C-alpha cells in the first residue's frame, strides 16, 4: 500500500501541558508544527493534576529555598543545574500562564493564593481550587489553538524514524481508520507523560502506557533512573484514584485503626506534609503491621472533617465529589479511606538541560527532544515534591519549544532528511503481526498479571528476592505476549489492537524498572530496598542509564549527578 508522507518543521507527540507549551512557542516563531495525540488535548492527563504548581512568590520565600526543598526532596539525586533553572523561572512561568488567562485562586489581599505541600519550607503551591491542571490545560490548549497549531487527535504514534543519532520523523496511524502515515520533520519532541499503568493500583489515565519510552529504547537509546517510581500516599482505597496532596496541605490528618495520627512517629516535624515517598511508606507500613482500616484492613483514614464545609467546598470541591462518587463517603462528615497508589515517574527519556535526548552520558541526539513526565532532565531525582510536576511540564515544555525553535533557525543545523515508505516497515510489521496472530493468550489477562505482579514485587517496598521474582515473571510474560490473539481484526476504532501495542511497550519499560531496582543496592527516595535500608552516596550517588538490546536484555551504565551549592546530607523531616 502507498504510505502518505506529510512534512513539518516540528512534530510533537503528546498534547498535555508540556506538548502544548512547546507547540505554542514554535508556532509563535512561525514554524510549521503538528501535535499528534492519542486523545483530544483536553483529555490529556495533565488535566488530572489537582493541587497546585510551585513558585516562590511570597516575601518570606525564595528561589534558594525552593531549590533546597526540591534537591533535599529528591534525596540529592536531582541535577542541581536543572533544578536551579526551573526554580528561578517558576515565578515568571506563573505570570506567563496568568497573562494567558489561567485563573488562579486568590487570597484576601487579591494575590495568587498558595497552599502548603509536602517537604516544603513555605507555602508555595499556586492553585485553582483543586483543579489546577485542568485550568492550565484549558488555557494552554486555547492559546495553542489561537496561534494556529495543527492538531491530529486520536492518532497513535507507533515508531520513530531514527538513524545514526538523527531523528527525522514518526510513523503513526489514525485510530479511526488504521490509515498509516509518515510524519517527516526536522525536529521531533516527545511529551507523552508517565507510565503508572504498569502497576495495578495507580492514579494514572488509561493512556499512560509509556509508549514513547519503549519506542526510543527499541532504537538503542537509553532510559534513565527508571527504578524511581513515586507512589502517592493518598489514592482512594481500591481504585487508586487520586486524592490530591492539597487535602493534606489544607490540614488533612492520617489516622490508623487505633485512632492514632501515626505520622508523628515517622515525621515528627512535618507530619502529613513530609515528602511523598516517606508518607507512602508510613501508610503502607501501618497496613502491613495490622493497623489498617476497612473491610480488608488495607487502607487508612484521611480525616478532613475538622476543616468544615466552607473550606472544603471553597478549596477541595472536586475531591469531595470523587470521594462521594467512588467511596460513597462525604468528607465533610466522614473520614475517607486511602492507600498508596502508583502515581508518577521520576525516570524516563534522558535529556540535557535544553531538552535534547541523550544517546549516552556524553552525547545527545540531533532533532530529537523530550519534555514533561516522559523525560528525565533530572529535576526530581529519586523523589518528586508535590506541585513540581506541573511546574516542570509547563516550564520545560515552553523552554524546550523555545530551544527547538532556535535550533530550527540555525543555518544548516536541523535539515529535513526526506523520509520514504520503507521507514514505516517496522510499524507495519508490528501491526500486521498482532492482527494476524491467532494464539491463545489474551491481552487483558497478561496486562492484569503484569500490573498485579509489579505492585507486589516492585512496589513501595522491595527486596532482591521479590525483584528477581519479578524479572522472571516479565520474561515469561514477554514470551506469552508473542502468542496473543485479539478478537477485533477490523480497521475501524480497533482498540484491541491499540491495547496490544501498549502492552508490548509496558512489558519493555517494566523490565528497565526492575533491572535498575535490582542493581541499586540502597534506599533512596521512592526506591526503598528493605535489604539495603540506607542511602549509599559512595556507590549510588549517580543516575542509572539502561540500554535494551534486540533480544530485550538490559545493560546498565551510570552517569554523574550534577551537584552544586547543596551538598548531600541526611534527609530528615
Instruction: List the pLDDT tens digit at each of the 573 positions of the chain.
Output: 699 999 999 999 999 999 999 999 999 999 999 999 999 999 999 998 888 999 999 999 999 999 999 999 999 999 999 999 999 999 999 999 999 999 999 999 999 999 998 889 999 999 999 899 999 999 999 999 999 999 999 999 999 999 999 999 999 999 999 999 999 999 999 999 999 999 999 999 899 999 999 999 999 999 999 999 999 999 999 889 889 888 999 999 999 999 999 999 999 999 999 999 999 999 999 999 999 999 889 999 999 999 999 999 998 998 999 999 999 999 999 999 999 999 999 999 999 999 999 999 999 999 999 999 999 999 999 999 999 999 999 999 999 999 999 999 998 899 999 999 999 999 999 999 999 999 999 999 999 999 999 999 999 999 999 999 999 999 999 999 999 999 999 999 999 999 999 999 999 999 999 999 999 999 999 999 999 999 999 999 999 999 999 999 999 999 999 999 999 999 988
* Burial degree of 173 (CB within 10 A; 0-12, 13-18, 19+): buried
Where on the phi/psi map is residue 348: left (φ > 0), alpha (ψ -120 to 50), or beta?
Answer: left
DSSP string, 193-205: ---GGGSSSB---
Is 335 in the same domain as 427? no
Catalytic residue among 115, 197, 276, 281: 276
Residues 75, 525 contacting (CB under 8 angstroms): yes
Give a yes or no: residue 164 inside a domain: no
pLDDT for res 1: 65
Domain membership flag for residue 98: no
- Whether residue 535 sits in one domain with residue 441: yes
221 domain residue, yes or no: no
Q: How far apart are CA 530 and CA 379, in angstroms?
A: 26
**Cα separation, 54 vs 73, whole angstroms:** 14
> Dihedral sign, CA of 310, 314, 315, 317?
positive
Report the CATH number that the domain containing residue 504 is assigned in CATH: 1.20.58.100
- What per-residue confidence (pLDDT) applies to 572? 86
Cell 529504547, residue located? 217
Q: Is 573 domain-assigned?
A: no
| 185 found inside a domain | no
Say yes or no: 433 and 529 in one domain.
yes
- Residue where a domain terminates, one of 284, 308, 340: 340
Q: Are residues 319 and 435 in the same domain?
A: no
Tell me, yes or no, if the pTM score tops 0.75. yes
Q: Is residue 88 part of a domain?
A: no
Of the residues 340, 360, 382, the one at which a domain ends:
340
| Distances 517 to 179, 345, 371 between C-alpha atoms, Å | 39, 14, 24
Q: Which domain holds residue 253?
A: 233-340
312 and 428 within one domain: no
Nearest-angstrom CA–CA distance, 280 and 274: 10
Write out the H or E segment, with its range, that includes residue 364.
Answer: strand 364-370
Cell of 330: 462525604
The structural domain count of the chain equals 2
**Please, what is the angle between helix 464-481 and helix 443-457, to 10°?**
170
Q: How far apart (Å, rounded) are the C-alpha atoms in residues 493 and 176?
A: 5
- Which cell numbers hold the place of 89? 523561572
CATH of the domain at 284: 3.90.700.10
> Using CA atoms, how far apart are residues 118 and 511, in angstroms rounded to an integer?
30
Dihedral of CA 222/227/232/236: which sign? positive
State how far the alpha carbon of 412 is from the alpha carbons of 101, 188, 341, 417, in Å: 37, 17, 47, 12
- Backbone φ, ψ for residue 69 (5° rounding): -60, -40
Contact assessment for residue 433 and residue 483, using Cβ atoms and an 8 Å cutoff: no
Name the domain boundary from 318, 340, 362: 340
Is 408 within a domain? no
pLDDT given at position 82: 98
Evaluate whether 200 touches 192 at the Cβ level (below 8 Å). Answer: no
Indicate whether 329 and 440 sit together in one domain: no
Q: What is the pLDDT of residue 50?
A: 86
Considering the domain architecture, whether residues 328 and 444 belong to the same structural domain is answered as no
Residue 358 falls in the annotated catalytic set: no
Element (H, E) at 506: helix 495-519
Contacts of 369 (CB under 8 A, 6+ apart): 187, 188, 189, 190, 351, 355, 356, 357, 400, 403, 404
Question: Nearest Cα to 502, choosing from 196, 240, 225?
Answer: 196
In a domain, 302, yes or no: yes
Give yes or no: residues 336 and 432 share one domain. Answer: no
Amino acid at each position: 500500500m502507498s504510505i502518505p508522507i506529510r512534512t513539518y518543521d516540528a512534530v510533537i507527540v503528546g498534547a498535555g501541558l508540556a506538548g502544548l507549551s512547546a507547540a505554542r512557542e514554535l508556532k509563535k516563531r512561525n514554524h510549521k508544527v503538528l501535535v499528534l495525540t492519542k486523545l483530544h488535548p483536553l483529555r490529556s492527563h495533565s488535566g488530572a493534576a489537582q493541587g497546585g504548581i510551585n513558585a516562590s512568590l511570597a516575601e518570606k520565600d525564595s528561589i534558594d529555598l525552593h531549590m533546597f526543598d526540591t534537591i533535599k526532596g529528591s534525596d540529592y539525586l536531582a541535577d542541581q543545574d536543572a533544578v536551579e533553572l526551573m526554580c528561578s523561572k517558576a515565578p515568571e512561568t506563573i505570570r506567563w500562564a496568568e497573562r494567558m488567562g489561567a485563573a488562579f485562586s486568590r487570597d484576601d489581599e487579591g494575590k495568587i493564593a498558595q497552599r502548603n505541600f509536602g517537604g516544603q519550607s513555605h507555602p508555595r503551591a499556586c492553585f485553582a481550587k483543586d483543579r489546577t491542571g485542568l485550568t492550565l490545560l484549558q488555557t494552554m490548549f486555547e492559546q495553542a489553538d489561537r496561534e494556529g497549531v495543527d492538531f491530529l487527535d486520536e492518532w497513535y504514534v507507533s515508531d520513530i524514524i531514527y538513524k545514526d543519532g538523527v531523528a527525522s520523523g514518526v510513523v503513526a496511524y489514525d485510530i479511526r481508520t488504521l490509515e498509516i502515515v509518515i510524519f517527516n520533520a526536522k525536529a521531533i519532541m516527545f511529551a507523552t507523560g508517565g507510565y503508572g499503568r504498569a502497576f495495578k493500583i495507580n492514579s494514572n489515565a488509561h493512556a499512560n502506557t509509556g509508549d514513547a519510552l519503549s519506542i526510543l529504547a527499541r532504537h538503542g537509546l537509553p532510559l534513565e533512573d527508571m527504578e524511581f517510581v513515586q507512589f502517592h500516599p493518598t489514592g482512594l482505597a481500591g481504585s487508586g484514584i487520586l486524592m490530591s496532596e492539597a487535602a493534606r496541605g489544607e490540614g488533612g490528618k492520617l489516622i490508623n485503626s487505633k485512632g492514632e495520627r501515626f505520622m508523628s512517629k515517622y515525621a515528627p516535624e512535618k507530619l502529613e506534609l513530609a515528602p511523598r515517598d516517606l508518607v507512602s511508606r508510613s501508610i503502607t507500613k501501618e497496613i502491613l503491621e495490622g493497623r489498617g482500616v476497612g473491610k480488608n484492613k488495607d487502607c487508612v483514614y484521611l480525616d478532613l472533617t475538622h476543616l468544615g464545609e466552607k473550606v472544603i467546598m471553597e478549596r477541595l470541591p472536586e475531591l469531595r465529589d470523587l470521594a462521594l462518587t467512588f467511596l460513597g463517603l462525604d468528607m465533610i462528615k466522614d473520614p475517607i479511606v486511602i492507600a498508596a497508589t502508583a502515581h508518577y515517574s521520576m525516570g524516563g527519556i534522558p535529556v540535557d538541560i535544553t531538552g535534547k535526548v541523550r544517546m549516552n552520558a556524553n552525547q545527545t541526539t540531533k532533532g530529537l527532544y523530550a519534555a514533561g513526565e516522559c523525560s528525565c532532565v533530572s529535576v526530581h531525582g529519586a523523589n518528586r515534591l508535590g506541585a513540581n510536576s506541573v511546574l516542570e511540564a509547563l516550564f520545560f515544555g515552553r523552554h524546550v519549544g523555545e530551544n527547538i525553535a532556535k535550533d530550527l533557525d540555525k543555518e544548516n543545523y536541523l535539515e529535513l532528511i526526506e523520509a520514504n515508505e520503507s521507514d514505516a516497515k517496522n510499524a507495519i510489521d508490528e501491526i500486521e503481526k498482532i492482527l494476524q496472530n491467532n494464539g491463545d493468550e489474551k491481552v487483558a489477562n497478561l496486562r492484569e498479571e503484569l500490573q498485579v505482579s509489579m505492585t507486589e514485587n516492585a512496589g513501595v517496598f522491595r527486596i532482591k528476592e521479590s525483584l528477581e521474582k519479578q524479572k522472571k515473571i516479565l520474561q515469561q510474560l514477554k514470551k506469552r505476549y508473542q502468542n496473543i490473539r485479539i478478537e477485533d481484526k477490523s480497521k475501524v476504532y480497533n482498540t484491541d489492537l491499540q491495547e496490544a501495542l501498549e502492552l508490548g511497550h509496558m512489558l519493555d519499560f517494566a523490565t528497565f524498572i526492575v533491572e535498575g531496582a535490582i542493581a541499586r543496592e540502597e534506599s533512596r527516595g521512592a526506591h526503598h530496598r528493605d535489604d539495603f535500608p540506607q542511602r549509599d552516596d559512595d556507590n549510588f550517588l549517580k543516575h542509572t542509564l539502561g540500554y535494551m538490546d534486540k533480544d530485550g536484555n538490559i545493560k546498565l551504565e551510570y552517569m554523574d549527578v550534577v551537584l552544586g551549592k547543596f551538598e548531600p546530607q541526611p534527609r530528615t523531616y
